[in-house]
Amino acid sequence: MSKYSFSLLLFLLSFSCIAQDQDSLAVPAKASAPAAAHPKQLRFSFDVARILMNRLSEQKSSYEGGLDYYLKNETYFTAEFGSGNSVIDYPDLKYKSNNIFVRAGIDKSLFERRYPQDWGMGFIGFRYAVGMINRNEAAYTTNDGLGGITSGITPAHRFTAHWFELTGGMRVELFKNTFAGWNVRFKFLLNQKAMGELKPAYIAGYGAGEKGTAFDYNFYLAFALRWSAKH
């Protein structure tokens, strides 16, 4: 091969490499797939059953509400709160008490979504709850059966109740973003001895302070805020 032919071959090879590099730069990179949108929901609830129960009882009243936030995989973080009071007015015992409480836990839906905006649910869950209780002075009268009557005052007392709940229920979307639903609750008082000798007759959010277990229910109306988050 002549010197001229060899030089021409090198020139053609160099030109071919440069052209390939320019072509590769000219081809646009593949566009990445758009991020998937994940639905989010924050729902606010109020227990309307408590309003009726307050009217039916002269000794106790309470109010309860809460919120739940959709996490993922049909799982919701739930926080609930409320307050209440009770009046004990017996011939031999008189006192008042009041308290506030908070509960927090997880709800897990038992049903698969039929479509992305299907927010109805049947669920089971659990709660850990704390109640801060004030019991006023208690006036008491005792009779030993032999004609001896004793009266006295038990000092006011503040204490904290802790309990655990297993719960289940349903939420149905009646109209867009508006729900109705119910819960049933099985409750277990964790520090019953801390209630002292004169236990509060009623602890809002729990029930009778003298019992280690309690059953309760709620009927909620709720409103939800929704948006989409991209990941």
Phi and psi at residue 102, in whole multiples of 5°?
Answer: -135, 145
Q: Alpha helices of 87-180 — where are they, by DSSP H?
A: none
The DSSP element (H or E) to which 221 belongs, if any, is strand 213-230
Cβ atoms of 75 and 108 within 8 Å: the answer is yes
Instruction: Compute the distance between CA of residue 83 and CA of residue 217 in angstroms, rounded to an integer.
Output: 16
Pairing outcome for strands 37-47 and 213-230: antiparallel
User: CA 162, 71, 49 angle in degrees (round to 5)?
Assistant: 50
Do residues 47 and 220 make contact, with C-beta atoms less than 8 angstroms apart? yes
CA dihedral over 190, 193, 196, 201, signed as positive or negative: positive
Catalogue all structural domains in the chain, each as residue range(s) with its CATH number.
40-230 (2.40.160)
Taking only the tens place, the pLDDT of each residue in 51-91 is 999 999 989 999 999 999 999 999 999 999 999 999 999 98
Give the amino acid at 61.
S
Cα–Cα distance, 170 to 118 (Å, whole number): 13
| pLDDT tops 70 at residue 210 | yes
What would the mean pLDDT of 91-114 be, rounded to a whole number?
Answer: 94
Question: For residues 91-124, b (16+ Cβ closer than 10 Å) or e, as one string?
Answer: eeeebbbbbebbbebebebeeeeeeeeebebebe
Would you say residue 27 has pLDDT above 70? no
Does residue 6 surpass a pLDDT of 90? no
Express each pLDDT in 148-200 by its tens digit. Answer: 788 889 999 999 999 999 999 999 999 999 999 999 999 999 998 888 788 88
